[in-house]
Chain A
Amino acid sequence: MSVPVRLRPVVEADLPDLERMFIEPEQLGLFNWSGWSDPTRLTKQWHEDRLLSEEHTLLMVDVSGETVGFVSARKHMTTAYSYCYEFGISLWTHARGKGYGTLAQRRLARYLFAHSTVNRIQAKAEIDNIAEQRSLEKAGFIREAVHKGWHFRDGAWRDEVVYRMCRDELPPMTT
């Protein structure tokens, strides 16, 4: 399988799509929507730092030149002096179920390990979000933990599955 999945920084032309996501919850998907929030938040942040700061990086996912969603990674301090990266992914609805998420997440892992000294990258998925769990596993992430009552969404506290990849667990890039 050789799908040209590529990550790239956000350009100004992407901003309307990112804003639309916050006013059309179906674009975010069931598991990512926790009510309306300021749709201009990412636009404002983009004007400040192009969404490429040391604390927070957001990259668009392109497949054969077409944008299908984005990945974002955030520094998570684990002690006063050490940290790992925690990331998330959001694909536009029409682009789901095609394996793009798997490739994008693996590319992101590769990117983060290449350009920072972190030892560990992690992601969380709600326990009922089977598609994302499968995608993380296919990308080479290891199911590590279920944290009970972690996240409040749609009227209830939800259990969250934690996935990790340590530097020595990064799979070879085949595509």
Chain B
Amino acid sequence: MRLRPIKEADLPDLERRWATDPDTVGEHNWTGWSNARWTKRWQEDRLLGERPVLLIEVGATVVGFVDWHSLETGGHGSFCWEFGLSLWPDERGKGYGTLAQRQLAEYLFAHSTANRVQAWTETGNIAEQRSLEKAGFTRESVLRGYSFRGGAWRDVVYYGMLRDELTTS
């Protein structure tokens, strides 16, 4: 399994998934129709700019993607990374998410000076919580009423990994 940038040939499938079927992104990621602009964003910066996206490939099959962005946490370059994961519905429960999230943490710590990588998921998304824990992330907190989805404000669980935890986990 590996993470790789999006190629032009990947775009039709990504556009189709977002334009046709909410089930593609899964209950916990679906926040209504939106113009995902995969192609436009790809043309702009190959989706490797400020909000990078890497596809998760198992063998020659794309099974989903990871994306991330930086959060400013203080002055003068104090920041951390926050990432998300999306697996196609029929590729879930196979351990791909765990591996992908682990690889992403390794990648981010290798290529930036960040001290912290974090992710959150709804309290109801047990599969993702288990996956983050298996990938070596530490459950840190529950934030109440944080994210709005499906007509309600939802509680979310925050997971973090520090640079020195990458080697020990």
The residues of A with any CB-CB pair to B shorter than 8 Å are 34-35, 37, 78-82, 84, 119-120, 122, 142, 144-153, 157, 160, 162, 164, 166-167
The 8 Å CB contact of A150, one of B34, B75, B80, B163, is B80
A122 to chain B, nearest CB (A): 8
Question: What 1/0 mask marks residues of chain B from 103 to 127 whose CB sits below 8 Å from any chain A CB?
Answer: 0000000000001101000000000
Set of chain B residues within 8 Å of A82, measured between Cβ atoms: 147-149, 153
Set of chain A residues within 8 Å of B163, measured between Cβ atoms: 149
- B17 touches A (CB below 8 Å): no
The 8 Å CB contact of A120, one of B115, B142, B146, is B146
Q: Decide if A152 touches B77 in the complex (CB within 8 Å).
A: yes
- Within the assembled complex, what's the spacing in Å between the Cα atoms of A160 and B143? 14
Q: Size of chain B's interface in residues, with CB distance under 8 A?
A: 29
Set of chain B residues within 8 Å of A150, measured between Cβ atoms: 73, 80, 116
A21 to chain B, nearest CB (A): 13
B132 to chain A, nearest CB (A): 15
How would you classify the secondary structure of chain A's contact residues: helix, strand, loop or mixed?
Answer: strand
Q: Decide if B140 touches A148 in the complex (CB within 8 Å).
A: yes
Q: Decide if B162 touches A164 in the complex (CB within 8 Å).
A: no
A34, A144, A149, A151 — which one has the most chain B CB atoms within 10 A of its CB?
Answer: A149
- B64 touches A (CB below 8 Å): no
15 contacts between A and B (CB under 8 A): A34-B75, A34-B76, A35-B76, A37-B76, A79-B147, A80-B34, A81-B148, A144-B144, A145-B143, A147-B116, A148-B116, A152-B73, A152-B74, A152-B115, A164-B145
The 8 Å CB contact of B141, one of A147, A151, A166, is A147
Set of chain A residues within 8 Å of B136, measured between Cβ atoms: none
Q: Decide if A166 touches B158 in the complex (CB within 8 Å).
A: no
The 8 Å CB contact of B148, one of A78, A146, A152, A164, is A78
